[in-house]
Amino acid sequence: MQASRFNKTVDLENGSKLLFNATTGAIAELPPDMYSPIRRLIELPDSAQTAEDKEQVDHLHYGGFLVEKEPGELTQLKVEYGDQRFGGSIFTLGIVPTLECNLACSYCAGRKNPGRMTRHVEKALLQWAARYIRKADETRITWYGGEPLLCVDTIERIQQGFAEMASGYKATLAGSTILTNGYLLSGDMARRLKSAGVMSAQVTLDGSLEKHDSCRPDSDGKPTFDRIIDNICEAAKDLDVVVRVNVHDGDMTTAREAVEMLDQKDILSKVGFYFGEATGGCEVCSDVTGRCRLSESHAQAQLAIYRALASNTNCRMDFPYLTPGSRCGSTRSNSFQVAPSGYLFKCQHQVSPRVDSSVGSIFSDQVEDFQQSNQWVFARHDPLGSSKCLECDILPVCMGGCPREAKKEHNEIQYKCSPLKDIMGELLVLRYLYEVGEEVTS
């Protein structure tokens, strides 16, 4: 055995060190008196002579800190990454039944696109998807928009169609997820979604009551915060709810106030939450953006908020990017986003009434030249072929960042690192202290 090239060590204030492995996501605290002996076993595993040392080596191997020399860590990572992208065992589908929205968020351009998915498109979608469902071990669906709950009848019909196909092909249809602004997500609606097979929901708050209502009124300009909070409380009884709390211009104050409001409602322990960036710039709902593309200022704001909240064990915090795996479904051969028109896209951010970023259509197997070029942007994504990426100790977590932001220069793809890379060490510390329930000092 040998040391993993993806081990990362971070100092704790108490003198201990955290050992993290980016391939497995394993994390362990090493007290000062244990660090040197464990480091020796990682660097020279064959030096283990005592029963205690051999047991430690077994633990290190299990956590991925030690790996077998053959077939080699990179070879195994390439095989796993290739299987994720081209193996076809999981069919993932994002469905946008409408780009319309019932809110008038100040920073979002998507709601100006009229039109909803027709019965004709619904039927064609099910026929097109059958080729993937019959081959896949599992099918995963995410609903978003616009506001998808404006088309709940469409959701129910398509969910039923997928369930029938999955049953017929003896395939697994996972519980679906919906990204919604929450204004229509009443308790009755949550139960209706659950009955249809939608098991989880993401709902967005734009900070405190005042901030939210100024940024996120309904289409008539009326406030929405109180109703969405009430709906979160009710929906959480039937669905697994995650609250996205938007951060505006790096200001964490109003985001913290939103979390405090959830705490006052005694709901914080029943829902997960994470922090997104309030940005527009695409034609789908802005609530879709913010997890895979972060600005440096927003990454720093996230870090400050997590630091402030990490001592609160009465909440389900979602620390970002600390688990291994292919980050982006757009690079997978059997992952698509379906627009209301039936055009296919690879990236959620590109879904649009226009076809210029599309990669195909559910109505035809014919792919136009420009659609083939659009596919190539994602198919060429291969951070395991980048010398720069191979030098990174968190490669299995990042996997080259956003495929859309990778640039081809001098016949080589230049991958853009996530801003979280620079704060990964402190995020690991906060995650660990949060999980063990220790108080965080700033």
pLDDT at position 440 is: 47
Among 6-15, 192-201, 378-387, name the most confident range.
192-201
CA 94/CA 114 separation, integer angstroms: 19
pLDDT at position 19 is: 92
If one counts every other C-beta atom within 10 angstroms of the C-beta of residue 132, the result is 20
pTM of the entire predicted model: 0.86
The residue among 278, 212, 275 whose CA lies nearest residue 242 is 275
**Do the beta carbons of residue 401 and residue 415 sit within 8 Å?**
yes
pLDDT exceeds cutoff 80 at 5: yes
Residue of 105 and 123 predicted with greater confidence: 123
The residue among 372, 310, 383 whose CA lies nearest residue 85 is 383
In the three-class reduction of DSSP (H, G, I as helix; E, B as strand; rest coil), residue 8 is classed as: strand
Sequence-separated contacts (24+) of 270-273 with Cβ below 8 Å: 270/236, 270/241, 271/232, 271/236, 271/241, 271/242, 271/243, 271/316, 272/240, 272/241, 272/242, 272/243, 272/316, 272/317, 272/318, 273/242, 273/243, 273/244, 273/245, 273/315, 273/316, 273/317, 273/318
Q: Mean per-residue pLDDT for 351-378?
A: 92
In the three-class reduction of DSSP (H, G, I as helix; E, B as strand; rest coil), residue 144 is classed as: coil
The residue among 142, 128, 58 whose CA lies nearest residue 330 is 142
Q: pLDDT band at residue 163, thresholds of 50, 70 and 90?
A: very high
pLDDT exceeds cutoff 90 at 114: no
Percent of the chain past pLDDT 90, that is, above it, reads: 45
pLDDT at position 395 is: 86
If one counts every other C-beta atom within 10 angstroms of the C-beta of residue 401, the result is 22
Q: Mean per-residue pLDDT for 337-346?
A: 96
The per-residue pLDDT for range 80-92, each reduced to its tens digit, is 887 777 776 889 9
pLDDT, the chain, mean = 86
The domains of the chain, with CATH numbers, are: 2-70 (no CATH), 91-317 (3.20.20.70)
The residue among 331, 252, 319, 247 whose CA lies nearest residue 289 is 247
pLDDT exceeds cutoff 80 at 127: yes
pLDDT at position 265 is: 85
pLDDT at position 442 is: 42
CA 280/CA 282 separation, integer angstroms: 6
pLDDT at position 111 is: 56
pLDDT exceeds cutoff 80 at 318: no
pLDDT at position 323 is: 58
Q: pLDDT band at residue 305, thresholds of 50, 70 and 90?
A: confident
Residue of 295 and 34 predicted with greater confidence: 34
Cα-Cα-Cα-Cα dihedral of 79, 81, 82, 84, to 10°?
A: 120
**Do the beta carbons of residue 292 and residue 326 sit within 8 Å?**
no
Residue with tokens 């017929």: 168
pLDDT at position 441 is: 47
Q: Mean per-residue pLDDT for 330-358?
A: 92
95 phi-psi bin (left φ>0, alpha ψ -120 to 50, beta other): beta
pLDDT exceeds cutoff 70 at 291: no
The per-residue pLDDT for range 292-304, each reduced to its tens digit, is 656 666 667 667 7
Cα torsion angle, 31, 35, 41, 43, sign: positive
> 34-67: string of b/e by CB count within 10 Å (b at 16+)?
ebeebbebbeebeebeeeebeebbeebeebbbbb
The per-residue pLDDT for range 200-242, each reduced to its tens digit, is 999 999 988 999 999 999 988 999 999 999 999 999 999 999 9
> 91-108: string of b/e by CB count within 10 Å (b at 16+)?
bbbbbbbbbbbbbbbeeb
pLDDT exceeds cutoff 70 at 405: yes
pLDDT exceeds cutoff 70 at 117: yes
The first and second tokens of residue 212, run together, are: 């939210």
In the three-class reduction of DSSP (H, G, I as helix; E, B as strand; rest coil), residue 248 is classed as: strand
The residue among 97, 94, 96, 162 whose CA lies nearest residue 133 is 162
pLDDT at position 357 is: 93
Cα torsion angle, 225, 228, 229, 230, sign: positive
**Do the beta carbons of residue 24 and residue 36 sit within 8 Å?**
no
pLDDT at position 48 is: 86
Q: Which range is least confidently modeled, 66-75, 95-104, 258-267, 278-287? A: 278-287
pLDDT exceeds cutoff 70 at 27: yes
CA-angle at 286, arms to 101 and 400, nearest 5°: 145
The per-residue pLDDT for range 320-340, each reduced to its tens digit, is 555 555 567 788 888 999 999
**Do the beta carbons of residue 103 and residue 158 sit within 8 Å?**
no
Q: Mean per-residue pLDDT for 366-393?
A: 88
Q: Is 112 exposed, middle or buried (0-12, 13-18, 19+ CB in 10 A)?
A: exposed
